[in-house]
Structure 1
Amino acid sequence: MIKDIIELLSNDEQSLSTPLLKTKVFAKRIGNASLYNWVTQELNGYDPHGQIPIYRLAKVNPYAVLTANDYSYQADQPLPLSLFNDEIIQGILKFKIDSGIKAIEEIASGKNGNTIIKPFGADFDAMLTREAQKNGAKFQISNTRVMLTTSEFTNVVGKIRSKLLDLILEVEAEYPNLEKELNDNVSKEEINKSITNIMAQINITTNGQGNVITAGNNNIVKTNINVLKGDIESFKDELKKNNVSLEDIDEIASIVISEEPTATGFGLGVNGWMSKMLTKSIDGSWEIGIATAGGILVEVLKKFYGL
Structure 2
Amino acid sequence: MGLLAEIQNDALSDTVPVATLLRKVMVLAANLDSALLEDWVRHELHGYDADVEVPAYRKFVMNFKVSGANARWQLTGQPVPQVLVNQIVNDDTFHFFECRQPIGTISPDEIKASKGKLSINLDNYVLLMQGKLFEPSFNISRFWGEVSASQVMGIIDAVRSRVLDFVLKLKRTYPDAGEIDGLTTKTPEVNQAVTQIYNTTIHGDNAGPVGNNSGATINVTVNAGSIKDLRSVLAKEGVEEADLIELEAAVSSEPAIGQDKKFGPKVTVWLGKMVSKAGSGAWAVSLGAAGALLEKALLGYYGYN
Q: TM-score range with shorter-chain normalisation? A: 0.5 to 0.7
Which secondary structure does the structure 2 equivalent of 1:90 belong to?
coil
Residue 65 of structure 1 corresponds to 67
Residue 154 of structure 2 corresponds to 155
- 1:94 counterpart = 2:93: no
C-alpha distance 42-155 of structure 1, shift in aligned 2 (>3 A): same
Normalising by structure 1, we get a TM-score of 0.57
Distance in 2 (CA, whole Å) between partners of 1:200 and 1:190 is 16
Matches within 5 A, 1:219-238: none
Matches within 5 A, 1:59-208: 59-67=61-69, 69-70=70-71, 72-85=73-86, 87-88=90-91, 90-91=93-94, 93-106=95-108, 110=112, 114-122=116-124, 124-129=125-130, 131-132=132-133, 139-179=138-178, 182-183=181-182, 188-202=187-201, 204=203
User: Which of residues 2, 5, 14 in structure 1 aligns to 2:4?
Assistant: 2
Distance in 1 (CA, whole Å) between partners of 2:85 and 2:194 is 43
Aligned partner of 1:160: which letter?
V
Structure 1 gaps, min length 5 = 211-307
Matches within 5 A, 1:243-262: none
Which secondary structure does the structure 2 equivalent of 1:14 belong to?
coil
Which secondary structure does the structure 2 equivalent of 1:74 belong to?
strand
Distance in 1 (CA, whole Å) between partners of 2:92 and 2:153 is 24
Aligned partner of 2:76: which letter?
A
Structure 1 residue 182, shift from structure 2 partner: 2.9
Matches within 5 A, 1:278-297: none
Deviations 1:181-231 (A, max 9, x none): 734889644323211111112352898989xxxxxxxxxxxxxxxxxxxxx
Distance in 2 (CA, whole Å) between partners of 1:179 and 1:157 is 25
Normalising by structure 2, we get a TM-score of 0.57
Which secondary structure does the structure 2 equivalent of 1:77 belong to?
strand
Which secondary structure does the structure 2 equivalent of 1:163 belong to?
helix
Deviations 1:156-194 (A, max 9, x none): 111111111111110010011125673488964432321
Distance in 1 (CA, whole Å) between partners of 2:117 and 2:184 is 52
Which secondary structure does the structure 1 equivalent of 2:76 belong to?
strand
Contact in 2 for aligned 1:53/1:205 (Cα 8 Å): no
Aligned partner of 2:26: which letter?
K
Aligned partner of 1:154: which letter?
M
Q: How many residues align?
A: 205
Deviations 1:212-270 (A, max 9, x none): xxxxxxxxxxxxxxxxxxxxxxxxxxxxxxxxxxxxxxxxxxxxxxxxxxxxxxxxxxx
Distance in 2 (CA, whole Å) between partners of 1:40 and 1:18 is 13
Residue 54 of structure 2 corresponds to 52
Distance in 2 (CA, whole Å) between partners of 1:61 and 1:120 is 12
Aligned partner of 1:32: which letter?
S
Comparing 158-167 and 54-63, the one that deviates more: 54-63
C-alpha distance 100-193 of structure 1, shift in aligned 2 (>3 A): same
Distance in 2 (CA, whole Å) between partners of 1:24 and 1:199 is 14
